[in-house]
Structure 1
Amino acid sequence: MGDDVRYSDRPSTEREVFVAAEPARVWAVVCDVEELAQGSPELMRTEWLDGATGAALGARYVGHNEHPVAGKGRTLAHITEFEPERLLTWAVLDVDGRFGEPAEALERRMATWSFRLTPADGGTLLHQSTVIGPGPSGLTAVIARMPEKEEAVIAYRLRELGEGMDATLKAVKQAAEKAD
């Protein structure tokens, strides 16, 4: 992305890693959100809602997050795409209204996250991505305080999210390869 990116552009970042395990095993790891929290620098723990016990289309969970600047908070994750061994996508909502009105409507999502799995060379290419916005978030709160630094704030957050993805992908890779 160029230096002139705005929040309204829905900035994004992505990472990928090769995992020496079949897609079914990698899928089992990425669908285990409790295990994913162990590899994430921001997601500390999760709680499934509405009787859900695992990832499925429409399933929702509360994420308990911690960030050195934003502090502790909760989000609502809503699984919006679920194609076994191929694609897992979820929208993240501001369930407690930390950055505006509490949101349960998907159009007010703070971000959208995805894992995409592709069979490759006896293993799996695992791709993780996120798109920021369009709803209010901690990022929009910072931008509102420093609108002249919007581009720098977004660039910093995208780097931070990318580093978190690197840590998550490393944890998924280790877990999936260890199981084989």
Structure 2
Amino acid sequence: MSGEVSLWMDAPPEKVWDLVSDVTRIGEFSPETFEARWRHGHDGPAVGARFKGHVKRNGVGPTYWTPCTVTACEPERLFEFVVGTDELAVNNWGYRLEPRDGGTLVTEYFRLETRRALRLYWLVLGRLRGLTNERGMATTLRRMKDVVEA
């Protein structure tokens, strides 16, 4: 009920951090989330900061907004958020940054919550959804790489 994709970027962690932690820029990179906005008075990354993402699943079909809350925020190292409400969390997304030899290994990952309904969903559609997520994460990271290495 999880997956991850890593990509080497020839850029220092602080430059990569600026992209992965600025949710308002996700529309430049993600094939599914085409915009996001900080909300409830938040204007940047911090544990507990809330934002909403505007999503078009698989890049097709109707769009919808998802509430999100930052759950981990360690500058230049880790940015993670939960999708869903306080009462009904659905999944977690994040970025790990590992500095190496003047560049950064960037890993984007997702992890579904372990509620019974989500486990059932994963049994039925998990392989397909996992592949879609992995393709989307690879696209997102490649687009970020193009920006930080330009």
**Normalising by structure 1, what TM-score?**
0.75
Which of structure 1's runs of 4+ aligned residues deviate more than 4 A?
A: none
Deviations 1:33-71 (A, max 9, x none): 122222111101112111111211111101111125663
Q: Distance in 2 between matches of 1:20 and 1:162?
A: 21
Determine if contact 1:36/1:172 at 8 Å carries over to the other structure. Answer: no
- Unmatched segments (≥5 aa) in structure 1: 1-10, 94-102, 144-149
- Unmatched segments (≥5 aa) in structure 2: none
Q: Distance in 2 between matches of 1:77 and 1:37?
A: 15
Pairing 1:145-160 to 2, within 5 Å after superposition: 151-160=123-132
Q: Distance in 2 between matches of 1:27 and 1:136?
A: 34
**Structure with max Cα Rg:** 1
Deviations 1:96-118 (A, max 9, x none): xxxxxxx333xx31110110001
| C-alpha deviation, 1:152, in angstroms | 4.9
Q: Distance in 2 between matches of 1:165 and 1:46?
A: 17
Structure in which a larger fraction of residues adopt strand: 2
Pairing 1:58-97 to 2, within 5 Å after superposition: 58-68=48-58, 71-93=62-84
Question: Equivalent pairs: percent with the same residue?
Answer: 31
**Normalising by structure 2, what TM-score?**
0.89
- Pairing 1:133–2:123 present: no
Output the aligned Cα RMSD: 2.0
